[in-house]
Amino acid sequence: MARMTIDGKEYDVDPKLTIIQAAAENGIEIPHFCWHPSLSVAGNCRMCLVEVEKMPKLAIACATQVADGMIVKTESERAIKARQAVMEFLLINHPLDCPICDEAGECKLQDYSYKYSIGYSRFEEDKVHKPKRVELGPHVMLDVERCIMCSRCIRFSDEIAKQPVLTFTQRGDHVVLTTFPGTKLDNPYSMNVIELCPVGALTSTDFRFKSRVWEMSSTESVCPGCARGCNMQIWVRNNQILRQTPRLNEEVNSYWMCDAGRLNTYKPVNSPQRLKAPMVRKDGALVEVGWDEAIAKAASELKSFKKNELAALASAYATNEDNYVFLRFVREVLGTKNLDFVRHVVEGDEDELLIRADKTPNSTGLKLLGVGPMEGGRDLTGIIQGIKEGVIRALYILEDDVASVPEIAAVLPNLQLLVVHSSIQNKTTEYADVVLSASTYAERHGTFTNFLGRVQRIRPAVATLEHDRALDGFAMSRWDKFASHNDRWGRPMKRDARPTWRILTALAGALGTKFRYNTSEEVFKEITERVPAFKGLSYAKLGSGGVTIQLREQAAVPAS
């Protein structure tokens, strides 16, 4: 270890680190634009200049390695004056458009302007004008006038995304960021340059001009787009998700997130096709009803079938908690041995960085929970065959559009009863007799287990009527009159959706079995007591980053 002094305090640090890394490890932030922990060092912004004793000139903290006995001053008069000079240079040609810039509130240039700028410009000539609203690719828009040439986006495209299509052209104050002729920034991770950009030069075509950062709430969650389980922030305004951004977790996704996870997973939550309430089939058509009627209908219909005539499909899109309660419900309440789940694997759609071929967030969790046919029961293939033969007459499906699989869609019309948990109208709900409106990943508490065995929490970022009832006990009838996607003030409606474990608890009660769950945390506590792989875990221990468990442990069958 090297013994060094930073701003009058001594620290023992790894001699392989640079000054900016050593400072960051000890909670000291040195201002910077071009440096990033996961990218190579460029050293071109000069914002991280610090004073090092016995060095004749100021040193850039991002490229200067620490040494034993080194004495560093990050806030000396010389260092601050140097930063003020750098800021004045950067702002000479920078447009004064903070009021209309999407980066406002998250902008390093804006923050450092308050801290290090002198408050006015000595430059009285015309600013250099550069291209604006340049589409670098399908998801990224460039305003070159705002660019400070930090080269973060160039290094990311080259080193992380492995698509070196960005470069600087021209010289001096006419330097322009652009793509090579005939190329576009269209790799699967292109939108990461938006967060990497320390200013408002690179913005999202999906999010541009939708909201200010201070007008949104942010919630820690996990991307449900594939088995990786990237950590992310969900950004919400007026009960609508406006964007999703990566959240640092070096054990899972580092600083990155794929474009598909950002864009494709949140849109169904906002969709006009969202179910607003439970539905039952009357006179050949699905109609919205209250929860009591929907639960009563499902219970009375399920009672009319023998155990061997029933089958159930769990869901790798649902949480550990939901699937655990479903497993208990199928075995203890329905009494059927016919249980499985659909694998959604897209062969070849996988890479070495983040993207997985398994497009579900919790298939590993289902395996650990023991979801599958009991001895003598039917697996997915057997269930399909049983429906064809008329042996299986009723099917219960959990949060999965199984009709998107042609083999399953072909047999669904043969069923006498189809009960579905879903958050959105889809191909499967078209065949359903009872549709129980389930909340989405963005509206519930729970956990996913990724392909590495890392158990991670999701949290509600969007409110449903379930949250309102928990607060003030509103009855469903009060909301029956709302039938449109928006309320009379034009705001997005809160859907009458419930987490699956709560729906199953109510349905089990209607069928004569008492499940004593009041929160998802109580469900997870029972999982940790009955399933060996989850032993010793709790929501508190999972924290914001999750915990990796041993995948070789065998799952236990939930006790009756």
| Tens digit of each residue's pLDDT (9 = 90 or more) over 156-183 | 999 999 999 999 999 988 999 999 999 9
pLDDT band at 118 (very low <50, low <70, confident <90, very high): confident
Mean pLDDT of 388-399: 97
DSSP-derived secondary structure letter, 180: P
Alpha helices in 197-266 (DSSP H): 259-264
pLDDT of residue 96: 86
pLDDT band at 378 (very low <50, low <70, confident <90, very high): very high
**What percentage of the chain reaches a pLDDT higher than 70?**
94
pLDDT of residue 119: 78
156 SS3 class: helix
Asked if residue 353 has pLDDT above 90, the reply is: yes
Alpha helices in 70-185 (DSSP H): 77-91, 108-116, 152-159
Asked if residue 494 has pLDDT above 90, the reply is: no
| Tens digit of each residue's pLDDT (9 = 90 or more) over 427-450 | 999 999 999 999 999 999 999 999
Query: Is-contact 496 276, C-beta < 8 A?
Result: yes
Query: Is-contact 90 116, C-beta < 8 A?
Result: no
Candidates 107, 106, 60, 62; CA nearest to 86 is 60
How long a stretch of residues is the chain?
A: 560
pLDDT of residue 5: 96
pLDDT band at 467 (very low <50, low <70, confident <90, very high): low
Mean pLDDT of 195-210: 96
Mean pLDDT of 200-225: 96
Candidates 423, 314, 420; CA nearest to 360 is 314
Query: Is-contact 379 340, C-beta < 8 A?
Result: yes
pLDDT band at 465 (very low <50, low <70, confident <90, very high): confident
Domains of the chain (ranges, CATH numbers) = 2-91 (3.10.20.740), 124-270 (3.30.70.20), 279-548 (3.40.50.740)
